[in-house]
Structure formats: C-alpha cells, structure tokens
Structure 1
Amino acid sequence: MELYTYYRSTSSYRLRIALELKGLDYRSIPVNLVGDGGEQLKPAYRTLNPQGRVPALRVENNQVLIQSSAIIEYLEECYPQVPLLPKDPLKRARQRGVAALIGCDIHPLHNVSVLNRLRQMELSEAEVDNWIRHWIGLGFDAVEALIGDHDFCFGTPGLADVYLLPQAYAARRFAIDLNHYPRIARVERLALEHLAFRRAHPDAQADKPA
C-alpha cells in the first residue's frame, strides 16, 4: 500500500495510526501542502484525488481510495484481525460517535481551506485563532464527557483513539491547554507510550521539516 500523506495533516495522522495499529505495511509518499502553492492542488496529485486533499491510499489493483473515514472503514473490513471496533453494537456506536464528533464537527472547522477562507474574508489572525479555539473547545467539552475513565477512550485502542490523538495534537498546535480535559490528556499520555501511536506521530515522519 502507498499512503499519500502530510506529516501534520490531522486526517493523514489518523490514517497512519489505523495502519500502524493493524500492523499493515505501507510506503509513505509525502505531499507538501504548503510549499510552492501546495502539491495537493497540482495536476499530478489531482489525477489521484480530484478533491486535492490528503490522505489518499493506493491499494490492490492500483486503486486509490480517498477520505480517511472511508479508508479506515475499508481497512477494518479487509483486515479485521486487529479490530478498531468491538463486536458489541452499542460499544461500536459509542466509538463511532466520538470519531464522528471529531471528524465531522471539530476537524473540518479548522481545516486549512476553511482558515484560508476566513483570511480571505479579512478576519485578523487573532480572530482566526479565536475561531479555532472556540470550535475545538466546544467539541472537546463533549468528548471529555463521552469517553469516561477508561484506559484509552473505551478501554483498548480503537476508532475513537485513532481520531482523538491527531485532534489533541492539533489542539496543542493552537495553544489549547489540555489540562482542562483530564480524560483527553490521559488518553494522549497512554497513546504516546504505545508503539503504533509513536510511529504514526508527526514528529516521526520523514517529511517533517528539520
């Protein structure tokens, strides 16, 4: 498998975690989102992903999959030996609920394209920062209440953790104090001691600037 990725892309990070938790071999192909106008917007990459975003995953028969949530579902269906979801339907729904809260209601609101649009509307950098902190904080208030006092989000590393760790990394990038969220901070601490999460971390990626 070939993963088109950017080291600090939240959605790329979550897909790397899923691949590492499942113990799957893949080759990372960096896509520079910031240099020279952004490689993701150039024709060579648009032929792979017409949306011009990362991640994308090339799988068997040279097929390319897009959107991290769809790719993770594909991995869960094709490589169930190390599951990201429990068998119990209610527990599965709780994992999916936290993942969707992060993937649908937090992350998109601080995506680069959204922030660039806010700047085009002549918001100041302080106003953009307030926007980011507002939406991450609102979402984290809900996540903190939902995950309980388990190891990881729901006992063992799963789908909710795959989504939460990259979002915690983004929160720290935007100077959000995770001490206000002790359950989230606990999950982050446990994950950063886990080999799969460490291998997927932005600091461990070859394309991270020196």
Structure 2
Amino acid sequence: MKHVNTIASIFVMILTSCTDALIGDEGKLDEDIYLNYQTKTDLELPFEEEWYTYVGGRTHLEGGHHFITHGSGQRYAYDIGIVIDGSSHSGDGSKNENHYCFGKRLNAPGDGKIIALENNIEDNRISGIVNDNINDSNLAGNYIIIDHLNGEYSMLAHFKKGTILVSVGDMVTKGQEVGKAGNSGNSTGPHLHYHLQNTPEYLDAIGLPAQFINYSANDALIERGEPVRGQSIRKN
C-alpha cells in the first residue's frame, strides 16, 4: 500500500534510522517474559468500519512505541486510523475534521470496569502540532482504562474532548460504545491509541501483547491474532 500521508512517511523514516541503534536495548527483558503471552480477555477490535494500522507488531520496525515507552505499558501499543484511497484525510489535513477517523465511534474491546478516564482535554488545534499545554500528566489526552478483572487492563487514548460516554465505576461490555476518536494529548493527528497492560496505573506498567478475535486483516479472516503495521483491519 502506498504511503498514507506525510506524517506516516516521516514516522517510517524515523523508525528505519533508529532500528539498528535500539534493537535489544530497553524492553528486551519484557520481550523475553511476554514473547509467548496469550491474552486472557476476549478482545475485539474497538471500532466499526475498516481502519488502518499505522503502528503495531512485535518488531521494533513495526512497533514504534518500542523505542521510547519502556515501563509505560505501551510496548505493544497500536496506533490506528482510517485510510481512504491512500490518505488519512481530505484536503491538506490541517483540520481535525478533515481526518476520516475524527469523531468516529470507539467501543470497549472487552468486558470490564472503567477505573480511570479523562474527558476534558482540548483536541490539538492543528493536526501535526501538539497544543502548548500538553505535558507528562496529560500525554494520553482524553482516555479510558478498562479493568478486565483478570490482571489485564486496556487503555484507549486521544478521544475527542467531551465525547466519552462512560464514567468511572461503570461496567462495560465488549462492543459497547465508549466515545469518539479524537486528537487530544501527545498526538500527531486524529487516531486511536490502544494498548493492553498488566497494572491499572496511568502510563506506568508493563505492556502485554493483545490478541484480537474474529477480524479481517487485508481481507484475510483471522480467528485470533495481532494486527501489524500496514494492515487494513475490521472486525467480522
């Protein structure tokens, strides 16, 4: 598939230039421990329609979060958006509303309890430029954390301000709408950030590989698997 946009192209170049220097550095122990990890929760892709995997996978080249997020729970994180005709947006993409995923429905990937959230952070005003007030305390922007009640915790981040539909303490079911995709926090453009981790803490955990059930990847049916960078994915 051709490059989806300028931001994605730059990101790929950064990953390629860093790969040789960083493979085997921070996070190697995590990789050894969780190389064969099997997700306990029955996870389904947390969106409707077909989305595109910008970042995701076990290798450093596929998983951009490998480089900078050891100890934050994001080692196996996904960044996912919508791509149509090779682009993530219409026009020049400078406005959030130009991006195809902005405002799209996001769902709970599995059953569980909402244990933390933020719903009041402004979306970045210009796609590709992070607002000045983003710091270590609000990197995820508007987010939710779901306790799956089995030692696994899902984090969905960068929701559109004010669109989260659940409250702390709510029980949610797989496929239930929880909010809308946005561009809040440390985000270079509208997208969904998703990762699975082993503790409830905000950006302070060990990331877990997340296997999803019953989805299509590049039109191939997958009963259980992990999407990787470059795949177009949708739940069956």
TM-score per shorter chain, which class?
under 0.3
Question: Normalising by structure 1, what TM-score?
Answer: 0.26
Greater share of residues in strand = 2
Q: TM-score, normalised by structure 2?
A: 0.24
